[in-house]
């Protein structure tokens, strides 16, 4: 398989990627698939790259219903207006019936409500965690077209409270990005801290692109919290934490997985991150997850270390296999209806390899079902398109983010039940 790089994507608004296939697998028809990811930012490029890699693998396995997959990639620039415009172009101009993406809930939500659901296009996200998306799906507004391979914000919020409680922290101030995702996880995290007896002094919204966050840092410092909880993205996270440290604030910080960034680590400095611990959802400790790490390392000459990579792989694989099961002329609703055939616990277990995809296509073409065993394990969705997941805590090291503790699905569930 071709080793693809995205080095030229920074600042690009759109890129159409023609996926190569082996001559023996060459197809004489094409299926266009929309892909929206923030390729302008350092952590977004590998997420998009992983999805494109799955497209390569599906083509090598025979394509979607015998047709070559053409992944049309557009950069949302981590901006909701740009993301909606990108999605609208994919739906209205390119005529896609499947959209894979995006990362931020603050972009996925308006894409779902104003573009994909009204147009009858299926949307599969790797990384959006807002519980608002669950509400949209439960209300029927998503028309059964919404799925995500990343657990909701409840998991990370609960793990943050668990880590704070274990560390003996008694007070915290919450800083959250002022968008749909940040407002959601910031609120849930504050509730989780309070549920375990930790005082939340304040919850402070952080807006994009301010010239300074000194006022917010001064406000946060007023009550002298023992720790900060940061539900921020790297750009505003860097600016805020620099102001905070400069004012003499504590270096004890708990961060969401959005800060698992080399840019954040380098700009803030490891010396200021010695008491920082991050949260993230995780793949279960199963053979298929280990196989993904090995395959990713071989493909990209390094292990998957950024956020959302395993989730991006599974989102693309499940969506494309469902497209195959529905047929080349399928509508978004047809594709969505076949997701259960790809993730049936009673179906034939298939690995996330070219050979596994080929076998899955054979079974699905015959009207059977498969149990996809992917980078995040045996994926299943609830009625609102959600998944459950274990979690991890992580810290910054010289080589990048390093896992500190694995928290099983059972541990996460038990802790969340104890809070309730």
The arithmetic mean of pLDDT across residues 74-88, rounded, is 97
Q: What is the dihedral of CA 387, 48, 310, 258, to 10 degrees?
A: -70
- Which has the higher per-residue pLDDT, 273 or 8? 273
Q: How far apart are CA 16 and CA 93, in angstroms?
A: 13
* Domain residue limits, the chain: 14-150+308-378, 153-282+390-419
What is the predicted pLDDT for the residue at 27? 65
What is the predicted pLDDT for the residue at 2? 34
User: pLDDT tier at 306 (50, 70, 90 boundaries)?
Assistant: confident
For the stretch 337-371, pLDDT in tens is 999 999 999 999 999 999 999 999 999 999 999 99
CA angle 156-161-167, nearest 5°? Answer: 125
- Which has the higher per-residue pLDDT, 116 or 43? 116
Q: How far apart are CA 232 and CA 181, in angstroms?
A: 9
What is the predicted pLDDT for the residue at 234? 94
Helix (H) or strand (E) holding 319: helix 309-326
What is the predicted pLDDT for the residue at 97? 98
Q: How far apart are CA 394 and CA 399, in angstroms?
A: 13
For the stretch 383-400, pLDDT in tens is 999 998 999 999 999 988
Whether the pLDDT of residue 13 is over 60: the answer is no
Helix or strand or coil: residue 130?
Answer: coil
The arithmetic mean of pLDDT across residues 75-104, rounded, is 97
Write down the pTM of the prediction.
0.81
Question: 153-282+390-419, superfamily in CATH?
Answer: Response regulator (3.40.50.2300)
CB-based contacts of 316, cutoff 8 Å, min separation 6: 50, 51, 54, 55, 100, 124, 126
- The CATH classification number of 14-150+308-378 equals 3.40.50.2300
What is the predicted pLDDT for the residue at 419? 86
Whether the pLDDT of residue 22 is over 60: the answer is no
Whether the pLDDT of residue 5 is over 70: the answer is no
Whether the pLDDT of residue 62 is over 90: the answer is yes
Domain 14-150+308-378 shares a fold with domain 153-282+390-419: yes
Whether the pLDDT of residue 276 is over 70: the answer is yes
Average pLDDT, the chain: 92
The arithmetic mean of pLDDT across residues 328-335, rounded, is 98
The arithmetic mean of pLDDT across residues 305-312, rounded, is 91
Whether the pLDDT of residue 28 is over 90: the answer is no
8 A C-beta contact, residue 183 and residue 206: no
């Amino acid at each position: 398989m071709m080793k693809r790089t995205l080095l030229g994507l920074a600042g690009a608004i759109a890129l159409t990627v023609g996926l190569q296939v082996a001559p023996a697998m060459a197809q004489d028809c094409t299926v266009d698939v929309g892909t929206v990811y923030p390729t302008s930012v350092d952590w977004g490029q590998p997420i998009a790259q992983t999805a494109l890699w799955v497209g390569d693998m599906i083509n090598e396995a025979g394509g979607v219903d015998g047709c070559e997959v053409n992944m049309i990639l557009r950069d949302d620039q981590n901006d909701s207006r740009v993301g909606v415009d990108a999605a609208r172009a994919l739906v209205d101009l390119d005529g896609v019936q499947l959209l894979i993406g995006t990362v931020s809930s603050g972009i996925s939500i308006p894409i779902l409500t104003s573009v994909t659901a009204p147009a009858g296009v299926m949307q599969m996200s790797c990384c959006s965690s807002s519980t608002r998306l669950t509400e949209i799906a439960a209300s029927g507004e998503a028309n059964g077209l919404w799925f995500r391979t990343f657990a909701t914000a409840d998991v990370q919020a609960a793990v943050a409270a668990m880590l704070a409680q274990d560390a003996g922290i008694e007070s915290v101030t919450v800083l959250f990005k002022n968008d749909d995702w940040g407002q959601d996880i910031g609120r849930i995290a504050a509730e989780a801290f309070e549920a375990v007896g930790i005082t939340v002094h304040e919850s402070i919204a952080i807006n994009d692109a301010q010239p300074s966050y000194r006022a917010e840092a001064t406000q946060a410092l007023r009550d002298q919290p023992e720790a900060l909880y940061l539900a921020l993205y790297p750009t505003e996270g860097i600016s805020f934490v620099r102001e905070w440290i400069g004012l003499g604030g504590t270096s004890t910080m708990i961060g969401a997985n959005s800060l698992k960034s080399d840019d954040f680590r380098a700009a803030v400095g490891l010396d200021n991150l010695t008491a920082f611990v991050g949260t993230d959802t995780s793949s279960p400790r199963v053979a298929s997850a280990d196989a993904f790490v090995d395959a990713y390392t071989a493909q990209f000459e390094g292990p998957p270390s950024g956020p959302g990579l395993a989730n991006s792989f599974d989102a693309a694989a499940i969506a494309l296999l469902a497209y195959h099961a529905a047929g080349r002329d399928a509508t978004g609703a047809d594709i969505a209806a076949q997701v259960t055939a790809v993730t049936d616990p009673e179906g034939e277990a298939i690995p996330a390899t070219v050979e596994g995809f080929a076998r899955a296509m054979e079974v699905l073409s015959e009207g059977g079902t498969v149990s996809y065993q992917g980078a995040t394990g045996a994926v299943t969705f609830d009625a609102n398109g959600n998944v459950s997941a274990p979690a991890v805590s992580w810290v910054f090291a010289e080589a990048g983010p390093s896992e500190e503790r694995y928290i099983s699905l059972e541990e996460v569930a038990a802790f969340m039940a104890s809070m309730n």
